[in-house]
Amino acid sequence: MLDVFRGLKHLIKVSHVKTDSPVFRLHYSATVIILMSFSIIVTTRQYVGNPIDCVHTKDIPEDVLNTYCWIHSTYALKSLFKKKPGVAVPYPGIGNSEGEQADKKLYRYYQWAILFYTPRWLWKSWEGGKIHALIMDLDVGICSEAEKKQKKKLLLDYLWDNLRYHNWWAYRYYICELLSLINVIGQMFLMNKFFDGEFLRFGLEVIAYMDADQEDRMDPMIYIFPRMTKCTFFKYGSSGEVEKHDAICILPLNVVNEKIYIFLWFWFILLSFLTTLTLIYRVIIIFSPRMRVYLFRLRFRSIARKHVDIIVDKTDLGTWFFLWLLGTNMEAFVFRDLVTEFSSKVDRIVTAGYSAKESTCFCC
């Protein structure tokens, strides 16, 4: 069975250069792997079994009936799920459906995953490998002093030449995080629509079912993913009349589906919660320069407070975010020297610029 998942191994590769947050990586890496794995499991018949097996009559070929019922969907009766199996009904949701069209609950299935990778694809295109190119192996810390000095000079020149050009670059990343939240919430509403309004409260109903009295409770997993359903097949008889054949279908795949979707419900809730917290954190960073100072000092303890203050007070959010990503991927002491030199240059030149303006105004 391991050979089936061999094609997913390229999704598990983790780059040593990090240009995003751990929560963002959960969307495009962990979630995509989970969804693709589940899709492979439910579509690999030799490990799960046939998706449907219908009880058929001799004059209808088995493959024909199974294929028809799988394609055109099967159904159960909503009013019969609370009746006692083996007494009032043979199985929850199964019984006489004559004249009960409005009571029918149809069952269909689908798979998806690509939408979770879309924000990552956008950020990868916008970031363009800039961080990887600029760290120039300064993350390993084994360069010679002359080589380090030359690379730091190149980095300082780049930072100074692009001092006011990283704001939109940072906001693009924040937009991608917002898109991740929109996607996971949209996926939940999409599945809720697909499951006739049952998915949004699916996890809560499963928890409530576990605590409910055994005589009164109805298993929500069987209601959404029944093991047995009904199927109606029509064919012409020998005299040309339309004949109706009522079939009982067993859905062994639903034993797997119910576990998959209850896991996905909790996973999507967790992703939504973590991503919401991340976006609140981003809003605080945008509107609170003092928080940027605190976080930078907390993450890079070797850098003196005065240098961090200069970076935050005399540059913009984009420069702060760009330096944050550089520091995440660079050797600590090399990054400390880089920030120290850069902040000193910013302080010197920006302060000189303000003094020149004040002098000009005074002379006027």
Q: Note the pLDDT tens digit of each residue in 4-21.
A: 556 555 555 666 788 899
Residue 45 within any structural domain of the chain: yes
Structural element, H or E, at residue 230: strand 228-236
- What amino acid occupies position 231? C
Confidence of residue 179 (pLDDT cuts 50, 70, 90): very high
Q: Which of 209-213, 316-320, 344-348 has the highest mean pLDDT?
A: 316-320
Q: How long is the chain?
A: 364
Give me the pLDDT at residue 363, please. Answer: 39
Residues spanned by the domain of 221? 2-118+182-272
Give me the pLDDT at residue 266, please. Answer: 94
Give me the pLDDT at residue 356, please. Answer: 44
Higher pLDDT residue, 291 or 33? 291
- For residue 86, pLDDT over 70 is answered with no
Residue 42 within any structural domain of the chain: yes
Number of folded domains that form the chain: 1
- For residue 131, pLDDT over 70 is answered with yes
Mean pLDDT of 341-356: 75
Give me the pLDDT at residue 203, please. Answer: 87
Higher pLDDT residue, 145 or 8? 145
Residue 56 within any structural domain of the chain: yes
Residue 224 within any structural domain of the chain: yes
Higher pLDDT residue, 126 or 257? 126
Residue 235 within any structural domain of the chain: yes
Integer-rounded Cα radius of gyration of the chain: 30
Give me the pLDDT at residue 361, please. Answer: 44
Give me the pLDDT at residue 108, please. Answer: 57
87, 71 Cβ separation under 8 angstroms: no
- Helices marked H in the chain: 9-12, 22-25, 32-43, 45-48, 62-72, 118-127, 130-135, 145-161, 167-194, 202-211, 220-224, 253-287, 289-299, 305-314, 317-329, 332-363
Residue 130 within any structural domain of the chain: no
Residue 107 within any structural domain of the chain: yes
Helices 145-161 & 317-329 angle (0-180, nearest 10): 160
Give me the pLDDT at residue 117, please. Answer: 83
Measured CA to CA in angstroms, residue 271 lies from 117, 183, 194, 207, 325 at distances of 14, 11, 21, 19, 23
- For residue 44, pLDDT over 80 is answered with no
- For residue 23, pLDDT over 70 is answered with yes
243, 59 Cβ separation under 8 angstroms: no
Mean pLDDT of 108-114: 54
Residue 319 within any structural domain of the chain: no
Give me the pLDDT at residue 116, please. Answer: 84
Confidence of residue 250 (pLDDT cuts 50, 70, 90): confident
Q: Which of 97-106, 156-165, 289-298, 344-353 has the highest mean pLDDT?
A: 289-298
Confidence of residue 326 (pLDDT cuts 50, 70, 90): very high
Residue-wise pLDDT for 355-364, tens only, equals 444 444 433 3
- For residue 77, pLDDT over 60 is answered with yes
Give CA torsion, residues 235, 240, 244, 248, to 10 deg. Answer: -40
249, 52 Cβ separation under 8 angstroms: yes
